[in-house]
Amino acid sequence: MKAIQYNEHGPAEVMRYVDLPDPVAGPGQILVRLEAASVTPFDWKLRAGHLRNHFTLPMPSVPGRDGGGTVVSVGEATGEFSIGDRVAIMAGALAQGGYAEMIAVDENHAVKIPERLSTTEAVALTNAGLSTWIAVNTAEVKSGDKVLVHSGAGAVGGLLIQLCHHLGAKVSTTCRSHNRDYVLGLGADRAIAYDEEDFSEILQDQDIVFDLMGGAVHDKSYRVLKKGGHLVWLVADQIVDRGEEFDVRVTRAVVTDDRSALQSMMDLAAAGLLKPQVARTMPLSQAAEAHRLLEQGAISRGRIVLTM
C-alpha cells in the first residue's frame, strides 16, 4: 500500500510517500481500504516535535488521527461489520494513522458512515466531531446558555457553533472578518472579527467559553465569563489557570477515541442537524503541502481531507 511516513521529527519535508506492506486484520479487528483521512493541527504539531514532552512517538510513524473507507476483511470474533461496509475509523495518536491506503483497527474504533454523508464528509466529521461532542458534554451546554466559541470558522469551532445552536444556546463566536457570514450561516448569533475587534471589550456575562487557542486568547476569556461560568479548553498554546481569581470553573476537555461520541455526531449529521465542513481535498501524496498550509494558517474554514 501507499502511505505517508516519517522517521524523525522535523519540517513537513520529513514526510515521505512510500510503499509499505498491507496490514492484516487481527482478532476483533477490521481491515479498511481507506479513501480519505483528515489533516488536523495535532498531526503537524506531533510531526514537528512540539508535543514530544507529552507523547513518545514510535519511529517510523504513519500520521493521521482518522480515516474513512470500505471494509475489505474482518478478523476473528467480529460481528458488527461486514465486507463492503463504509466506515469512519479512529486511528489513535501513536499507532499507524490514517495517511495510508489501508488500515487495520479494532472494531470498537469504527462506526458506519450514514448514507447521507460522503466518505470525505464523514472523515471531516470524525476527529473534529469527537473534540466537539466531548467539549460540549464537558461544558454541559443547555438551552438558553450564553456561549462563546473561539475560532468559529475552524473545523472544531464550526461544529461547536452548530451543536450549541442545536441545543438552544445563544452563540457568539470569534473569527476573521472575511468569515463573518460563514459562521453566521453555521448558526452563530453574533460574530466578532478578531482582526478588527477585541471580544473581551464587547462580551460579558457568558455562561461558557470554548477556548481552542490558549495563550492571550485564554487569558482574555476570563473577563467575559459571569461568576460561576465555565471555561472549557482543548489542547492549544500554554495556559495559566486563573479560575479561582475570577470565580469560574476551568476544565480541559480530554479528547479520547470515544466510539459513542463519534456515533452521536454521525447520527446528528445523518439527521441533517450538523454539516461537516471540508476546506479542500488533496491527494495523499501531497500530505506535506497540506501540513504546510495548516502551519502557515492558510486554512481558516473546516478540515483539509487527504484522498486516496
pLDDT digits 0-9 by tens, 145-176:
999 999 999 999 999 999 999 999 999 999 99
Q: What is the pLDDT of residue 80?
A: 86
The burial class, CB within 10 Å (0-12 / 13-18 / 19+), for 100 is buried
Confidence of residue 308 (pLDDT cuts 50, 70, 90): very high
pLDDT of residue 56: 80
Fold that domain 128-252 belongs to in CATH: Rossmann fold (3.40.50)
State the Cα torsion 203-209-211-214 to the nearest 10°: 60
- Check residue 300 and give its pLDDT: 79
Q: Can you tell me whether residue 154 is helix, strand or coil?
A: strand
What is the rounded distance in angstroms from the CA atom of residue 65 to the CA atom of residue 184? 29
pLDDT computed for residue 237 by the predictor: 65
Evaluate if residue 95 carries a pLDDT over 80.
no
pTM of the model: 0.94
Cα of 98 vs its chain's centroid, Å: 14
CATH class of segment(s) 2-117+276-307: alpha beta
| pLDDT tens, residue by residue, 32-84 | 999 999 999 989 999 999 888 777 888 999 999 999 999 999 988 667 899 99
For residue range 221-278, what is the model confidence (pLDDT) as tens digits?
A: 999 999 999 999 996 667 889 999 999 999 999 988 999 999 999 999 999 999 999 9
Phi, psi of 281, deg, nearest 5: -110, 150
| In contact, 130 and 90? CB cutoff 8 Å | yes
For 82-94, how does the pLDDT look when each residue is reduced to its tens digit (9 = 90+)? Answer: 999 999 999 975 6
- Could you write out the DSSP letters of every residue in 221-277? HGGGEEEEEEEEE-S-S-----HHHHT-EEEE------HHHHHHHHHHHHTTS----
How many residues does the structure list for the chain? Answer: 308
- Domain assignments of the chain as residue spans, ordered by start: 2-117+276-307, 128-252
pLDDT band at 118 (very low <50, low <70, confident <90, very high): very high
